[in-house]
Structure formats: structure tokens, C-alpha cells
Chain A
Amino acid sequence: MYLLEFLIMFPLLISVILLLLKGERLRAGLVKISALAISSAAIALLISTFHRSIQYFKAESHLVDKIMFFTEWALAGYILYLGLKFKRARLTLLILLQAALMFYFEYSCGAKVISENNLFIDKFSIIMSLVVGIIGSLICVYSTGYMEDFHRDYHKEIKDRRNFFFFVIFVFLSAMFGVIFSNNLLWLYFFWEITTVCSFLLIGYKRTQESRNNAFRALELNLLGGLAFLAAIIIFYRTTGSIELSKVMLLGKAWALIPVILVCFAGLTKSAQLPFSSWLLGAMVAPTPVSALLHSSTMVKAGVYIILRFAAVLQGTMAGFALALIGGITFLAASFAAVSQSDAKKILAYSTVANLGLIVLCAGIGTYEAMWAAILLIIFHATAKCLLFLCVGTIEHKIHSRNIENMSGLIITMPKLSIMLQIGMAGMFLAPFGMLISKWAALKALVDYNPLLAIFVVFGSSVTLFFWVKWMGKLIIVAEPKDEIEHGVSKSQWFPLGALSVLTISVCGFFPLVSSVLIEPYCLEIYARTITMSQGNIVIMSIMLAMVMLFPLSFINYGKRVKVVDAYLGGANINNNVEFRGSAGTVNSMSMYNYYLEDYFNEKKLLKFGVIISIVLVIAMLGLSLL
């Protein structure tokens, strides 16, 4: 109980201090200490509660409710002001609608709404709190070093608002914990809206025209989701007289389906599924730690978290099937679109959207196997993706580009970073590592439920392989000698990177443990049955993991018993790997560019196609829920 409150309140407190604090050293120190505190609190929470079943906490709410109430209206006012100031008609409309709905709810039944238990904790919340607590705080630590470089060396034109930046980030973390632990749906909604506003502020951090536009797009789409969320709460209350998550879950499918689908709609916007994914792709303009935060541990994970919470209700319904299809289409379209990208952050963004699609696909079918797979996906995706984003951030500062064509030979120029990057990629798609375990599980779940859905995974994952491997290959190509340029990366960047690399590997090493302690009991609680990976398969996975881990050992033999010669260039090399003699004695040099297959994997067409299909599916989903 105290830990829960600590996790929600402490970041909030720190954020206020950070906003007021002036000295940079002091701020960095405070961020690091509080990151440590948050992550240890998350771990302490795990240790103290993992053996217990769901716990509910009353959490005296009178004062809190009041504060929330005022904050909510203040935020609405702020957004309205923004909408009017920047002449965003859609934004204004959305916030007015929301305010009207809110007002209606407060007016008609605000006084009567009471919630018995405001907070709760179960296995799934523990997992999420670990993801947010550990990965989120690592990102905070990373940000201290990164933002310093960012303002000092790379973006002098941008106004240094670092205290504001950290303020928002810590509020964000606090809100995330709030989302995870709230049992009172109104609280949940409140924290949900806070994350929306925080992401808006962070995306717009640079205050350029582009970032402003993208920030507004994110705000609009997420407000749309918020609207659906609010509507869902009202319907919940109207039909059941309760606004508690736990009670809603106990209701039959027939009752809960409409509001659940509305909540899922909100989840879709937040987790950037098609047709709403444009905001996450636009969010790249923000400084890299923000992308890492949005993509890995917070924002989008809140979206799938809420969908997964209701997954059990969706099982076997047509609306759930439509949701699964949305996830599948998103997975497919985003993976395909990633093939034609050369911007590293964009590839990562598409990959995030794709993997969330896979989670939504699992949630849509809602069986216990799917739930197991989806939670695994959340864990593995969060660690690996965070590592990838942070690596790209540092690399971008060093090579002044995030085009993967410019990352050729990174293994020489930035050996440590490129190895970490490769660990992250391995975590995203390579066999014994995390994502593949979850894909294995997802495939199994899909085939058991409806084999036709497997088609998404089948095509999506083969395409995934293509764009990851070609990037990986680009990193290890060394056409000509280059100098190392890795020095000067600060310790506060190295530490989170190293920690995340270790985490990415150890999460798959210890995944049987994670599964048996947290995920399987959770599935048992919800479905009264669970799936687990058989002993034999775990052994095989471990052997594979061990083999891949042993790979660096082969470098003991580095350069022995081999003769180095130039690459074959039709015999026309001029004493090196890259230059060759052309006709009439000219000296040409060769260059290698990756395949992007733009004619076949056209981003625009794919997205257009995906958006159209998914809009149809969203409408179908909403329609089907009414049946």
C-alpha cells in the first residue's frame, strides 16, 4: 500500500522540485537518486507482493478526488486555450465535447459516485510497474546526460527548458503508475489524460513548427481516445452503478461489451494502432529519450495495458475478433512499411507500432494463451525497444545522422554502442531472444483460437526479419578503415545503455522464472488455467541462448591463421577494398546501399491501405459491440 502511494506520489513530488531547482548538477543528481528510488520501490513491490493474489486498497479519496477534479478542469481549460490560440478547430471541438460529457456526468451523478477501493495491485500491475519503474527510470538517468549534450552541442538554437522537461517526465511516470494501480475508473481516466497531456508537452519540446504540429496531432488523437474512455465510464456507471475496474470485470459479457469496446478504442488511440498510428510516427521529432519513453515503457504500453485488462471479456466475441483484425492489420502494415525506411528512428517507430499490433491481436482473441503471449511481448518489447532508442539517440549525436546508411562500419567507429544496438535488435527478432519467444507463444495462441489469424504473424514476422537483418548487416560492414569516435559519451548515458543490454539478455534468460512467478499466476487468476512453455523447449531455448552468447568467444581466434586480402572487385581494385580502376584509367570507388524495395513496400500506399481497412474495422468493432 505504502509502496503504491510512494510510486505514484514520489515522482510527482520530485517533478515539482525539479521544476523549481536551478543548478544543473543538482538536478542531474536528484534525477539519478530518484530514479534509483523509483526502480528499487518497483522491485520492492515485486518482492513484497508477488506471492499474494489481488489486493485492494481503500486509499482515502476525498481530498484526492477534489484535487483531481480541479486539475482535470484546469487541464481542459488549458487545452481549450491552446486550441483557440493556435486555431485548432478539431482540438477545440474535442475538448468541448469532453468537457460537456464530463459536466454531464458530474452534474447527473457526480455526487453519488462512490468507489469502495480506489487502488489495487495484482500480478499484471506488478509487471507493468517493473517495466515503468525500471525502464522509465533508466531513461531518466539517460536523459540527464543526453539532454546536456543536446543543448550544449547539437541544438543550440533550441531554448534550454530542461527543468520543464524533467518535470514533465516525472509527472509522466507518476501518471503511469497511477494508470497501473487505479481501480477507480475515474482515477484511471484522470491519469490517462495526464499521460496524454504529458506526451503532448514532450513531443512539442523543441517548439519548432514541425514538432508543434505533431504534438497537436498526438493530443487530438489521444483526446479522441479519452472521449471514448469517458463515454465508457458513463455507460459503465449507468448500467452497473459502479466505477470500479474489479467489479466491471465480474460482469457478464453481454453487459460489459459496449463500454469495454469503447475502452479498447481509447487503448487503440493510445497504443498508436492503425488508423491512429500517425501520432506516434510524428512523435519522433521529440528528443530521443522522449521517443524511448513513449515507445517502450509508458504511453503506448498504457494503451495495450488497458486493452489487455479487458481481454478476457473480449474472448469469443465478434467485436473482439474485429479488434484482433485491427491488431493484425497494424502489425502487417507497419512491418511492411518499415522495410522501405532508412531513418533509424522511423524504423523503430514502425516496429513499435507493429509489435503493439501483435499485442492487440493477442488481446482481441483474449484466450489465456494469448494473454500469456501478450504480457511476454510487453516485457520483451519494452526492454529491447528502449535500448534501441537510446542507442540511436547517442549514435545520432555522434554521427549527426540517424540514417542507417550512415551507420555503415559502426562496429569500428563505435564498437560498444553498435554491439548494444545489435543486442537490442537481437532482442527484437532473433531466435532465442525475447520477442521470438513471444512470437512463438502468440503463434500457438492464434492457431489454437483461429488458425486463419496466423497469416498476420506469418507474413509480418518474415518481413520483420528482413528490415532488422539488413540494418544489422549495415552495422558490421567495414569497407574501409575508420577511426573510433566513441569517446565523449557521458557515463550517465553508458550506464542505462549497459543496464538495458544486460536486462535484454537476462530477461530472456530468466523468462521461465518471470513466467512462472508472475504471468502464469495472473492467467490462472483470470482464466483459471494457464499455459507454460514445456521443459524441453525451455532447455532448447537456453541452449540456443547459450550458443549465441558464446559467439563473442570466437573472437579469441581473431586474425589467426587467416590472410587478409582485398575484396573482389572484378580484379580491378587499386590496393584497397573500395577503389577500383574504371575504363580509361579513372579511379572510381564503390559504395553499397541497402535494398529498400520502395516499389513494393511503399510506405504511403501501405498506410493508406491500412488506414482504410482499419477504419472499417473500427466501425465494425463498435457496431458489433452493440449487437
Chain B
Amino acid sequence: MSYLKRSPWVIHYDASSCNGCDIEVLACLTPVYDLERFGIINTGNPKHADIFLVTGSVNEQNKEVIQNIYHQMPEPKVVLVLGICATSGGVFRECYNVSGGVDKIIPVDVYVPGCAVRPEAIIDGVARGLAILEEKHKKFQEISGGKGELVITEAAIEDAQEILDLQKLAYQSEAEIYNDFSLSPLKQSLEELREDFKNKVFLKSVMHGKIVGSVRAYLEEDTCHIRRLIVHPTYQNYGLGRKLMRRVEAKFGQAKRFETFTGHKSRRNIYFHQRLGYKIFKREHVSQLRDRVFMEKPLKKE
């Protein structure tokens, strides 16, 4: 059983709202509506929060902040957008400085429109959010408790579409790090990916019939090049990536060394590889925003 439903803590962020919706959020906490009777607390701290309430149409300055807060919240988490501005941009939708909806920035789970949104609607939205939270929690339990069965097999060309979708999802966080949404993994087309199948080996890890992780690699003069290790954001941090890496290294047992690369600011990736025995050996300039860090792992001689 999950206790998430019994004590959802929220963080509220005003992404250039007119304060109309914000007042209503606060109204929910007043004696009249008393959200705390459901155990809901406004924490004001992403690290403690389960539900992210966003109001407002999101201008340039808010983007980064929303992303930061979102990433600093522990899983499982739910994003609720309150008011029409946050839902779609509302009357500001066409404005030059507005992104038009929070879902352009981070994945949104529940939309609560209204101008301003009514407290009853907010409470209803939170209640819906709780159901989603519950669902996410189950998924989360499965991996963290090792209950869900994870199968790693070689992928076939039929999986191309699913892998591509996953790739675009997984590389989102990378793009945010460099604020560069023109990364090649995000731009890759289905045809190009199908092309890849010809000269690379694809591995996929499947849970409940859904691909949650993948990696590709090819051999070139005793060196195995490992590319695009991706894991679904919800499933990250539970050893899926490590398992995939182990598997791909085993698959290319004949290789003398393994090589991979990542961006210079992707600290988590670098740390991940370092723990698997990789070392940085080269740095290459790719664009103004990004350097490429090459990492290698020579194979131990038996």
C-alpha cells in the first residue's frame, strides 16, 4: 500500500502568473478549504515535495527555474498546472516572451484550467494527481523492489519507433543541461535510426512489454564503441543502465577496449561511467555550448 495519497506535500511555483491563481492556491490552505485535513502541506521545498503546482504562462526567466525545481523533486512526483495560462498560455499564448503552457518545458500530469482556477478545482486536481502519483509509485516500487521482471535482449528493427521515442524522452534532460535542443539524438529521424540497425547492435531492456532502456554499439579495430545509452526517466537510478552496459560489454567480449562519450557538463553520466571503470582520455570541442568528453575502459587481461 502506498502512503503517498495520505500525505501529498506540494510545492507551488508562480511562473509569471497574474497572482489570481496563486491567491486561490493559498485560499486552499485557509480554514475555509483547509487542505491540511488531507495531509497536504505546502512545503516550499522541491526536495520534500510530491506535487508540483505551477501557475502562470511561463516566460523566459521561469523556464530554467521550472526545470530545476522539477529535477530537484524526488520520484514519484506529479506536475499539476493550475489555470488556463499554465495549461496552454491562455490569452498570452501568442506573446513573444511566453512559452505557452508548462508542458512545453516539463511533462505535465494534470491540467486544471480556469481563470482564476477555483479552489474546488484545485482540490479536485490534486485528488486526480494523487491517483497518478499512486500509479507512478507502483512502477517505482517494481523497479526499486526488483519486482518487475526486466528482460534484456537484442532489439530488432521493429523496435525502432519505440526506441526513438524513448531516446527523445531520455535525452531531454541532457538538452536542458546545455540548453541546446538541437542535440542529434533529439533530431534523429526514424529512417536514420533504422539505418543504424544495419551496422550496430541494439540492446533493449523490456519491462511489462515496454522498452524502458536501450543501448547500441559496434566494433571497430578491437575497439567497441558504445553509443546512446538511454533509460526511461522514471526508471533511472535503479541499475538499469549498469545492467545494459554489462550486457553490451559481455556481448563484445572480443574487444580490447571500450569507448564512449558524453557532454562535458553531464556530471551524472561521467560519474556513472567512472564507476563502471571508464576513464576520461580525450576532450573535443563540438559546439559553443558543448564539449565532448571521451571515456575509455581497457579490458583486463585474464
Contact = CB atoms under 8 A, between A and B. Distances in A.
Interface in A544-577: 559, 563-566, 568, 570-575
B268 A568 contact: no
A92 B224 CA distance: 83
Interface string A272-303: 00000000000000000000000000000000
9 contacts: A563-B236, A565-B47, A568-B45, A568-B46, A568-B47, A571-B46, A571-B65, A571-B66, A575-B177
Nearest to A583: B61
B64 A572 contact: yes
A64 B72 CA distance: 76
A397 interface: no
Given A563-B237, A566-B72, A581-B64, A575 B45 contact: no
Contacts of B236: 563
Given A563-B237, A575-B177, A568 B65 contact: no
B48 to A, nearest CB: 10
Given A563-B237, A568-B45, A568-B47, A573 B68 contact: yes
Interface string B72-107: 101000000000000000000000000000000000
B45 A564 contact: no
Interface string A371-387: 00000000000000000
A566 B68 contact: yes
A502 B268 CA distance: 37
Contacts of A564: 267-268, 271
B64 A565 contact: no
A585 B65 CA distance: 12
Nearest to B268: A564
B228 interface: no
A556 to B, nearest CB: 15
A570 B61 CA distance: 13
Interface string B44-78: 01110000000000000100111011011010000
B13 interface: yes
In this complex, the member of A563, A565, A571, A573 whose beta carbon has the largest number of chain B beta carbons within 10 angstroms is A571
Nearest to A569: B68
List of 10 A-B pairs having minimum Cβ-Cβ separation, nearest first: A571-B65, A571-B69, A571-B68, A563-B237, A565-B72, A573-B68, A575-B177, A572-B65, A575-B265, A568-B72
A572 B268 contact: no
Contacts of A575: 177, 265
Interface string A516-527: 000000000000
Interface string A570-611: 111111000001000100000000000000000000000000
Interface residues of B, number: 21
A559 B61 CA distance: 33
A165 to B, nearest CB: 45
In this complex, the member of B65, B265, B271 whose beta carbon has the largest number of chain A beta carbons within 10 angstroms is B65
A483 to B, nearest CB: 14
Given A564-B268, A571-B66, 9 more contacts: A565-B71, A565-B72, A566-B68, A568-B45, A568-B46, A571-B65, A572-B64, A575-B177, A575-B265
Contacts of B66: 571
A575 B178 CA distance: 9
A585 B63 CA distance: 12
A575 B67 CA distance: 11
Contacts of A572: 64-65, 68
A575 B46 CA distance: 16
B268 A571 contact: no
Contacts of B74: 563
Interface string A6-43: 00000000000000000000000000000000000000
Contacts of B68: 566, 571-573
A572 B69 CA distance: 9
Interface string B18-48: 0000000000000000000000000001110
Contacts of A585: 61
Contacts of B61: 581, 585
B47 to A, nearest CB: 6
A571 B64 CA distance: 8
B233 to A, nearest CB: 11
A438 to B, nearest CB: 41
B179 to A, nearest CB: 9
A571 B13 contact: yes
Contacts of B47: 565, 568
B293 to A, nearest CB: 14
A565 B71 CA distance: 8
A256 B42 CA distance: 72
Contacts of B268: 564
A579 to B, nearest CB: 12
A573 B265 CA distance: 14
